[in-house]
Amino acid sequence: MRHSRHSFATHLFDSGAELPVIQTLLGHADPRDTMIYLHLATRKLREAPNPLEMLNLRSAQGREPAAS
């Protein structure tokens, strides 16, 4: 049963459900209990844009190529 709960929580999280929604559906009083089920949901973390890379892309797009 625990594996099913973990899969359920992970799929909800990966689909965009917010932590309080998942917490309510699982019946957890403490959000830390819910976060245990989500520790492997790292796809969202890997897909999150790096703000520094976004700055570099924007500044590079506005520049003209360097003359050689």
Number of domains in the chain: 1
pLDDT number for residue 33: 87
Return the exposure string of 11-45: e unless at least 16 CB atoms fall within 10 Å of the residue's CB, then b. ebbeeeeeeeebbeeeebeeeeebbebbeebeeee
Mean of pLDDT over the chain: 76
pLDDT number for residue 35: 84
- Assess if residue 50 is contained within a domain: yes
18-38: average pLDDT: 88
Name the band, by pLDDT with cuts 50, 70 and 90, for residue 4.
Answer: confident
33-56: average pLDDT: 72
Residue numbers of the domain that contains 26: 2-61
Is pLDDT above 60 for 68? no
- Assess if residue 20 is contained within a domain: yes
- Exposed/middle/buried for 8, CB within 10 Å: 0-12, 13-18, 19+? middle
- Assess if residue 68 is contained within a domain: no
With beta carbons less than 8 A apart as the criterion, state whether 31 and 23 touch. Answer: yes
Which DSSP state fits 27?
T
- Assess if residue 67 is contained within a domain: no
